[in-house]
Amino acid sequence: MSPFRCSTGQVHSFPRNVFSALSSGGLLAYVRCFNLPSRASRLAITTLLLGTAALRAHPEIEAALTRLNSAITAAPDDAELYLTRGDLYAKHDAWAAAEANYLRAAELAPSLPGLARSRGALALSTQEFTGALAHLNEALKQSPTDAEALILRVGARVALGDRGGGLADLEAALKLLPSPGPELFLTRAKLHVAPADAIASLDAAIARIGPAHTLQLRALEIEEANGFVDQALRRLDTLARQSERQEIWLKRRGDLLSRAGRHAQALEAYAAALAAVERLPQWLRDSPDSVALAAELARLTSANPPSSS
């Protein structure tokens, strides 16, 4: 894979499940537990938090914390160390401890590269979307080609009702990334309102990264749900060609044709599916799934539906 470096040279993970949450339509609910009123009390609470968090942590996190704590003791005014420690806490969902560290980093170096993005990610994780947007705007002001900040801002904008802005951010991020995974393209399709636009965006994704199964399946689902029968049939042909086992896709083809009232063609598809099952090696043909599928296909092909319209 071609290397990708964000503008700060760092790689940060997204908050856990941001993308699954985006895909399912809303961000996970996390409760922000406190605001820190003054620097002195912030530091006191931070110290307390660090201690309790470390007690709860796993061995490798404890080790990483120990290293960072030592480094911070040696260089208490190094903002980068607080940012790193905040990121470590954020990765393990210790939001309050993360925030305390980010605040300290911000006190020491308000324009520290990566800080605004991390604060935006944290605010997104705690559902403070307006705050997240402000931080991410700042991050992108500092570094307009920060793909991860753009992707995070998609979450903030969509949550605040700006679907178009989210889509624009996602498009911009996708242009910056050399090898984006299918999840980003699935999210983009979801942001399109019109089914035809969603399908077009998925086809564009397929053209870019190849016919990934999940992209094709999503396009097929949209085509089937919206009655784009011939498009869906072409998609099913592609899926069947790419699969070692075609019977599932041929059966689905038959179901689609049947729903569309094209019964003769449906029968042909069911017969082809049955033939595909029969071509399987015996040990696979004898598996319970295959036996059940063959029985269903036999029932469907032995029926005598009206001729095709």
* 41 or 179: CB nearest another protein: 179
Neighbour count for residue 278 (Cβ, 10 Å): 12
Min separation Cβ 47 and another protein, Å = 22
Tokens of 82: 């607080």
- Nearer of residues 212 and 271 to another protein, judged by Cβ: 212
* Closest approach of another protein to the CB of residue 43, in Å: 26
Q: Which is nearer to another protein, 69 or 290 (CB)?
A: 290
Q: Closer CB to another protein, residue 283 or residue 306?
A: 283
Please, which residue, 41 or 66, has the CB nearer to another protein?
A: 66
C-alpha–C-alpha distance, residues 268 and 254, integer Å: 8
Q: Which residue has the tokens 């404890």?
A: 62
* Contact positions vs another protein (CB under 8 A): 1, 3-6, 11-14, 16-17, 19-20, 23-24, 56, 58-60, 63-64, 67, 91-93, 147-148, 151, 177-184, 186, 209-215, 217, 242-245, 248, 280-281, 283-284, 286-290
Closest separation in Å from C-beta 286 to another protein: 4
Tokens of 280: 């399987």
Our CA dihedral for 235, 237, 240, 242, rounded to 10 degrees, sits at -70
Instruction: Give least dist CB 62 to another protein, A.
Output: 11
| CB 284 to another protein: min, Å | 6
- For another protein, which is the closer residue by CB, 234 or 279? 279
Instruction: Find the radius of gyration of the CA atoms of the chain.
Output: 26
170: exposed, middle or buried (C-beta count within 10 Å: 0-12, 13-18, 19+)?
A: buried
Instruction: Give the shortest CB-210-to-another protein separation in angstroms.
Output: 5
Alpha-carbon distance of 221 to 236, in angstroms, equals 11
Token representation of residue 215: 């992209």
Q: Which residues contact 233 (CB under 8 A, 6 or more apart)?
A: 253, 256, 257
